[in-house]
Structure 1
Amino acid sequence: MLRTLPLEFEGQLHLKGLCRSRLAELLHRWGEPAYRADQLFQWIYARGVEDFSAMSNLPALLRERLARHCTLKTVHLLRWQRSERDGTVKFLLRLPDGAAIEAVFIPADEGDRRTLCISSQVGCPLGCAFCATATLRLRRNLNAAEIVDQLCQVQSFLGERITNVVFMGMGEPLLNLDAVLDAIAIFTDPHARLLSPRRITISTAGVVPGIRKLAESGIRVKLAISLHSADQRLREQLMPIARRYPLPELLAAVQYYTERIRRPVTYEYILFDGLNDSPADADALARLARRTGAKVNLIPFHPIEFAHPTGIGAQLRPSPPDRLHAFAERLRRHGVTATVRSSSGIDIDAACGQLALSWRPADPVEEPTAAQPGR
């Protein structure tokens, strides 16, 4: 079984990994009434307070005990980069064992949508040809506290509420589904006042058992499938996981999810020049999407030469913008809802895994503060 740090690590219990019912169980063992868990949740999440001594409606003895045995700081900001072009902020975060992960804040072009892209694993085991995280390899799963605290620390740093969370950072979330579901239970707890399920998206490369398990959980989050080709052979070249879960199995799981949750999935589709961006490719994708009423999100490719890719990965180039938009229009003519994702953070190390690849544990730690301007 893949290693995960326990919530109790080096003598401290990381409270942000406990849902409210488990927190109530802990406090009950300490002789506290159940409503103390509600109060703690409100302090930690709704108010963003990380100093137990400031939680004024808790008894002094409880505050002292919490400070001795527990911590609310699971991840630490190491470095950050802010795009002068669109305001995207990339964060490098240190975990309790010294490992590093990434999170990305993406502001909306219009409106008040503020999205945080978070990680679910240290590295990734899937080896997708277009992803820099693949070169990091998989080190371990994140626990629920390490997932939840990404949102908490970034929100505190920015000084504004995160409105949407997408599990599209480092790792494959459906290979760490138990911890992801634990984190979602905390995000969506009414006492936390953080997020509703409809503002959470899980992106998967196509882990069929995980899709089915997510459907059976009954949690009505949004599901995005990293597809990138409607052709089985090409998909296998781009994404080795397609050999284990070929398209017919994946599409059956998507059908199951759609019928069970009653919410359409989104197919994510990176366009590569001369590889998957022809009119025939658009027609094949449209046929596939119409089967379950899926939406399509077209994504410009961020080159990953810095990761020294090999094989097909070394040949990948972004499709020209005019071809990307023509592809989107062809999908729409087929009756498919198609959007084009903006190239957020293109002037910083925004490709998934890029900032983590540039850092090693021996590097000096840069303690960022919210008062600093973006850098």
Structure 2
Amino acid sequence: MLKGLTLRELKDFFSAVGEKRFRGEQVFEWIYGHMVQSFDEMANIPKYLRKKMNVYCELNTLKLLNKQESPTTGTTKYIFETNDGHKIESVVIPDPKRTTLCISTQIGCPLDCQFCATGLMGYKRNLSAGEIFDQYLLASKDYTRSPITNIVYMGMGEPLLNFQNTLKSLQIFAEEKTRGISLKKITVSTAGIAPKIVELADSGIKVKLALSLHSLFEETRSKIMPITRKYSITENLEAVRYYAKQTGTRITFEYVLLKDINDREDDFHALVRLCKSLPCKLNVIPFNSIAHMFPQGIAGELRPSSKIRLDEFVRKLREKDITVTVRYTQGDDIAAACGQLAYKLEQKSNA
């Protein structure tokens, strides 16, 4: 599989099979710059080499299986099928200032965050760097309203538990020959894998980082995000402070507001103390209920904070000069919350 190889790896590959190293650079540009979907489109590659690649190499990792577009917001959810038959999701979210693609890094997710539909799928496997990039390629070719300007690694799965493939995909996006996206426009979101946050900070790849925070109290966060039992809030906050210092970027904290769980006065004051302590911004997210998926335990008990409480919570944060964005759900009508549509299709295919 050639897609997913970095520039250096492609040069090494062609050298190893007896070709000139510059063939790797040419093929890289065709795959990631021109975003071709067949070897026959690689016009400056000799015919004999294209024929060999058709016989011995593979190029495409995904196929577009399904898409749904919201008539109200233009949000478009894509369902892609992997070569081994699994379903993954990507979502294009239009905005007056940008068009953002939310991509997946795993099939399912092992973290079992109680407010997230993807966790109900369980965990199947990591996506390859090629499968991560192909989401961008296929969505870019299909979505014609506007060019994709931003990417968030915020779909199905935990990017930092698929660290090597996540990093390889970022290295591909970092190359000048790759089309369309600057690393400055890419955000990697994590539920909090502290050692990998530090490793990403030291990798030399400078992207924005978002931490799915959701509570600053260990007991509360452990209930809704079991990964907290392995990597505490304290460890993760130390890691994101290190990341901000190493990369010179501002941290984003994601905060799904849950009734009577993380919307109390104590939560507000804890957030104020945190946001005053490092360069950051806060995304407050109204909870998109997954009750219709019949979750068990605490997941089935979660409810969104009222609109009145959310507005008050945000207003008070802004009065403290904290940068807050309310990320209202786009695409309720197309099951655009992470994992919902892929979960339904995966269940059908396993029936």
Report whether the alignment pairs 1:130 with 2:115.
Answer: yes
Residues 283 and 330, structure 1, Cα contact 8 Å, conserved in 2: no
Provide the residue aligned with 1:18 in structure 2.
Answer: 5
Residues 173 and 202, structure 1, Cα contact 8 Å, conserved in 2: yes
1:150 to 132, 135, 144: 135
Rounded to whole Å, the distance in 2 between the matches of 1:55 and 1:161 is 23
**What does residue range 30-179 of structure 1 map to in structure 2 within 5 Å?**
30-108=17-95, 110-111=96-97, 113-159=98-144, 161-179=147-165
**What does residue range 1-375 of structure 1 map to in structure 2 within 5 Å?**
14-108=1-95, 110-111=96-97, 113-159=98-144, 161-360=147-346, 363=349
Unaligned runs of 5+ residues in structure 2 are none
1:292-351 per-position Cα deviation (integer Å, ceiling 9, x unaligned): 222111111110013212222112112222322221221122221111113111111112
Residues 210 and 253, structure 2, Cα contact 8 Å, conserved in 1: yes
Residues 104 and 116, structure 1, Cα contact 8 Å, conserved in 2: yes
Identity of aligned residues (%): 44
Rounded to whole Å, the distance in 2 between the matches of 1:273 and 1:221 is 32
- Cα distance change of structure 1 residues 68 and 361 upon mapping to structure 2, 3 Å threshold: farther
Unaligned runs of 5+ residues in structure 1 are 1-13, 365-375
Residues 45 and 194, structure 1, Cα contact 8 Å, conserved in 2: no
1:201 counterpart SS class: strand
Residues 254 and 283, structure 2, Cα contact 8 Å, conserved in 1: yes
Q: Following TM superposition, by how much is the alpha carbon of 1:50 offset from its aligned partner in structure 2, in angstroms? A: 1.5
Q: Following TM superposition, by how much is the alpha carbon of 1:233 offset from its aligned partner in structure 2, in angstroms? A: 1.4
Aligned residues: 349
1:185 counterpart SS class: helix
Rounded to whole Å, the distance in 2 between the matches of 1:333 and 1:231 is 23
Residues 171 and 205, structure 2, Cα contact 8 Å, conserved in 1: no
Provide the residue aligned with 1:5 in structure 2.
Answer: none
Q: Following TM superposition, by how much is the alpha carbon of 1:361 offset from its aligned partner in structure 2, in angstroms? A: 7.5
Residues 120 and 172, structure 1, Cα contact 8 Å, conserved in 2: yes
Matched to 2:70, the amino acid is: S
Matched to 1:349, the amino acid is: A
Residues 86 and 346, structure 2, Cα contact 8 Å, conserved in 1: no
Provide the residue aligned with 1:9 in structure 2.
Answer: none
RMSD value, Cα:
1.7
Matched to 1:323, the amino acid is: R
Rounded to whole Å, the distance in 2 between the matches of 1:236 and 1:33 is 54
- Cα distance change of structure 1 residues 280 and 362 upon mapping to structure 2, 3 Å threshold: closer
1:162 counterpart SS class: coil
Rounded to whole Å, the distance in 1 between the matches of 2:285 and 2:222 is 19
Rounded to whole Å, the distance in 2 between the matches of 1:198 and 1:322 is 35
- Cα distance change of structure 1 residues 276 and 361 upon mapping to structure 2, 3 Å threshold: closer
Rounded to whole Å, the distance in 2 between the matches of 1:212 and 1:54 is 41
Rounded to whole Å, the distance in 2 between the matches of 1:18 and 1:312 is 42
- Cα distance change of structure 1 residues 361 and 73 upon mapping to structure 2, 3 Å threshold: farther
Runs of 4+ in 1 over 3 A off after TM superposition: 360-364
Instruction: Tell me the TM-score normalized by structure 1.
Output: 0.89
Rounded to whole Å, the distance in 2 between the matches of 1:363 and 1:140 is 17
Q: Following TM superposition, by how much is the alpha carbon of 1:161 offset from its aligned partner in structure 2, in angstroms? A: 3.4
2:269 counterpart SS class: helix
Q: Following TM superposition, by how much is the alpha carbon of 1:362 offset from its aligned partner in structure 2, in angstroms? A: 6.2
Matched to 2:25, the amino acid is: D
2:31 counterpart SS class: helix
1:16 counterpart SS class: coil
1:227-263 per-position Cα deviation (integer Å, ceiling 9, x unaligned): 1112221111111111111221111111111111121
